[in-house]
Every structure is written in C-alpha cells, then in structure tokens.
C-alpha cells in the first residue's frame, strides 16, 4: 500500500487525493483544523504542525510526504524529512515564505523583478520609499496571501499616513508595476531532474484574490512561454525541487517580472484537471513518487472561475455544456474559496461565447468577466 502524507488539509490536498485514487494511492493528512475539507475523503489527523509527537506518528508507514499549504512551519517539514522523503525540499518552503528572500533569489538567478527595498525595521521605511519611489506596494515579508498584509502607497500623503501605522514586522517595499496583465507558470520537476511546464495562464484578481484564470493565456507567444519556462527552470534547479512549482508574473511591454512563487500545486492550475492531458495534481504526485511525468499539453482552451463566499445552484452550472463543477465541502464564509468551475472549449471564440452566456451569478464584477472578455478576442500585440 502506497500512502502519501500531506501537511495541510484544504482544497489543494483534497484535489491531490482525488487525482491519486485512480493511481491506487492512499492519503493521510495533518491539519490543525477539525473542519479541514479532506476529512470527507481521507484519513485526517487533527494536530498542530508544531506537534512533534503527532508528526512522528503521522510519518509511520508513509512512502513520501508533501504539503499543500505554503505556510507549514519549515521545522515541521525538516522534522518529517528525517523520517520519510519530503518533497518539495524544505528549502523551497523557506524561500517562498519570505517575500524578501524570494525576490532576492529571483534576482540572484537573473530573473527580472520590480524594484524593491527591505523595510526590516520601521526606521528603514523612509529610506526605502526614497530608493524605490512612488507608487509602491508595502508588504509584510511573511504570512501575506490573497492580498492580506499589503498597502498601496500612491502619494506622499499615503506615506505619511502609513508611517505611524507600520506593523512591527519585517516588510518589503516594491515599486508598483503598471502591468498589462498577470500570468503564471506551473513547472513540474521529477526526482530524476526531468522538468515539464504547463502553458502560461492569464490570471484576474480582485481584492487580491484570484477570481478567473484563462489557460492557455490568450495571445500567448512562444517567446513569452520560453521566458517563463527559463525562469521556472532556474528556480527548480537551484532548489533541487521535486513536485509542482508555481511562479506568478506581471507582464508589460513583452517582458515578465516575477512577483512570487508557491512551492505547491496552485489555484491558477485548477483548469488542468479537465483542460490538460495530465492535471497539476496528478503530475505533482507522479513527481514526488519518482514516476514518469505526464504530458502538460492543454486540451483546447479553458477558463477557471473561483467560487468565493457563495456558490451558485449546482444545476445552473451543470446545465452549461462542458462546464465542470468542483465544490470543496467548506462552510460558506465571506472571502472563502468554496469551489471552482472550469469551462472548456475547442477554441477561444467558443469559450468566449460560453463565458458570455453564463448565468447572471457570474456576471457580477467580482468574477472579472466584464474585464477579461473583451481582451480575450483582442489581436496579438
Ligand atoms: P501578491 O500577494 O504579491 O500576489 O499580491 C496580490 C496582488 O496584488 C497581485 O496579484 C497584484 O494584482 C497586486 N500586486 C502585488 N504586488 C504588486 C506590485 N508590485 N505592483 C502592482 N500590483 C501588485
């Protein structure tokens, strides 16, 4: 029996398990919350990530361990790694958990980023503003996700207002990027070092939360894809990475600036369940088990819409041809990712029509369709 241990029990773990069952795999999860959605479908241990006794017991009989949550304490990953193989390596968690380390790693590898300056102490703030210039984004180095822990500073007044309110934690000040769009790439590296890449994905955020992904990204050029793959390859090699890695970029003037990375399967890759020959979830499992990686080719074109805070009537979605509904079994709460819908089509024009014809539920500004649809059919720049 091959059992995979997963730290974190949210929807990413849920979909990893769903991808692994047809391969005959078994799963054991560890999550601090007794409500973690994987409890519905797999063996779940409810314990704190710091609980070494629980981690010890959790590790027994595992073939390999991985994580689906990037803020798993590095110490927990290292503790497990002394007992069973853990992929991706703990160093990837360490780099990705700190925005400053992450950006410095990109720079070291020759991957372009926006200008940035550390604000490790409040006293460094004014100097950082002078160096980076305005407008700028101030972000906490750690524990920020989905737009949390971020401040946009447009004017000197914003700077004056922020100064007395700065939290007493390490921060990074980044030059604001007037990007044309946001893209992400998913790379997968196997235990033997073989790497494969999915086509670039176009992402639309609102309130810092991913709402809509289009894959492959409309107007994708071979050059853009190559730039993204080269960047991801460098990170994969540098970290001796195994598994799926996501890098998010800003695109402008035909250039890519790396913003951040996630050492795990990623929300912008959910379309791959129906929209690629092999899903990101299956490929992550294949990679960490040392199995051959699957083809990452897109099957037609896909749009993935996150269901945040509330879900439509299932029948409304299932009524749409080639729509796929995924509900994670979580209690509805404002801002919470409860599920997603993937729409697939053979061609962009058909996908565009299907998206335009979605029920009213999806046409509220939150879903970003009003912005994305007109751009989708625009000609290549
Ligand atoms: P992050 O947590 O870094 O992914 O930021 C969340 C979202 O804020 C991004 O997806 C962007 O839409 C926006 N954002 C973050 N950093 C910048 C930046 N330096 N310039 C412009 N927009 C940004």
| pLDDT value for 309 | 95
CA of 262 to the centre of ligand 1 (A): 14
- The per-residue b/e assignment along 50-82, b for 16 or more CB within 10 angstroms, e otherwise, is ebeebbeebbeebbbbbbbbbebeeebbebbee
Kindly report the number of other CB atoms within 10 A of residue 351's CB atom.
21
Ligand 1 atom nearest to 145, measured from its CA: 2
Question: Which of 259, 267, 268 is the best mutation target for the ligand 1 pocket, counting ligand atoms within 8 Å of the beta carbon and taking the most?
Answer: 259
Residue nearest to atom 5 of ligand 1 (CA): 147
Any atom of ligand 1 within 6 Å of the Cβ of 260: yes
By the 8 A CB rule, do 317 and 341 touch?
Answer: yes
| pLDDT value for 150 | 87
Please state the pTM of the whole predicted model: 0.97
pLDDT digits over 50-95, tens only?
Answer: 999 999 999 999 999 999 998 999 999 999 999 999 999 999 999 9
Ranges of the chain with pLDDT below 50: 381
CA of 326 to the centre of ligand 1 (A): 27
CA of 40 to the centre of ligand 1 (A): 34
| pLDDT value for 197 | 99
Measured CA to CA in angstroms, residue 21 lies from 4, 47, 190 at distances of 11, 24, 20
**What residues are paired with 301 via a beta bridge?**
345
| pLDDT value for 147 | 60
| pLDDT value for 378 | 84
| pLDDT value for 202 | 98
């Amino acid at each position: 029996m091959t059992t995979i241990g997963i730290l974190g029990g949210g929807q990413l773990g849920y979909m990893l398990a769903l991808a692994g069952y047809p391969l005959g795999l078994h799963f054991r999860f560890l999550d601090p919350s007794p409500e973690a959605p994987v409890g519905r479908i797999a063996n779940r241990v409810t314990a704190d990530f710091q609980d070494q006794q629980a981690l010890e017991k959790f590790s027994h009989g595992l073939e390999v361990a991985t994580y689906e949550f990037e803020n798993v304490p590095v110490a927990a990953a290292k503790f497990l790694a002394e007992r069973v193989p853990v992929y991706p390596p703990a160093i990837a968690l360490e780099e990705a958990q700190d925005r400053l380390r992450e950006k410095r790693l990109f720079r070291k590898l020759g991957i372009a980023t926006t200008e940035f300056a550390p604000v490790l102490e409040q006293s460094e703030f004014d100097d950082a503003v002078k160096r980076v210039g305005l407008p700028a984004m101030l972000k906490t180095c750690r524990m920020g996700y989905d737009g949390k822990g971020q401040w946009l500073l447009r004017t000197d007044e914003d700077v004056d207002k922020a100064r007395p309110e700065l939290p007493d934690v390490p921060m990074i000040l980044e030059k604001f990027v007037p990007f044309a769009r946001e893209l992400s790439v998913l790379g997968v590296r196997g235990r033997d070092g073989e790497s494969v890449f999915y086509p670039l994905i176009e992402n639309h955020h609102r309130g810092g939360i991913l709402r809509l992904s289009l894959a492959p990204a409309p107007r994708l050029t071979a050059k853009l894809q190559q730039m993204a793959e080269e960047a991801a390859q460098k990170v994969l090699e540098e970290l001796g990475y195994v598994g799926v890695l996501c890098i998010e970029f800003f695109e402008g003037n035909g250039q890519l600036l790396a913003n951040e990375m996630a050492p795990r399967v990623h929300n912008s890759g959910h379309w791959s369940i129906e929209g690629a020959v092999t899903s990101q979830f299956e490929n992550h499992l294949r990679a960490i088990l040392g199995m051959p990686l699957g083809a990452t080719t897109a099957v037609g074109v896909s749009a993935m819409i996150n269901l945040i805070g509330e879900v439509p009537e299932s029948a409304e979605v299932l009524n749409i041809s080639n729509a796929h509904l995924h509900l994670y079994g979580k209690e509805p709460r404002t801002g919470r990712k409860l599920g997603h819908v993937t729409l697939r089509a053979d061609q962009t024009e058909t996908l565009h029509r299907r998206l335009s014809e979605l029920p009213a539920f999806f046409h509220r500004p939150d879903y970003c369709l009003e912005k994305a649809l007109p751009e989708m059919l625009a000609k290549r720049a």
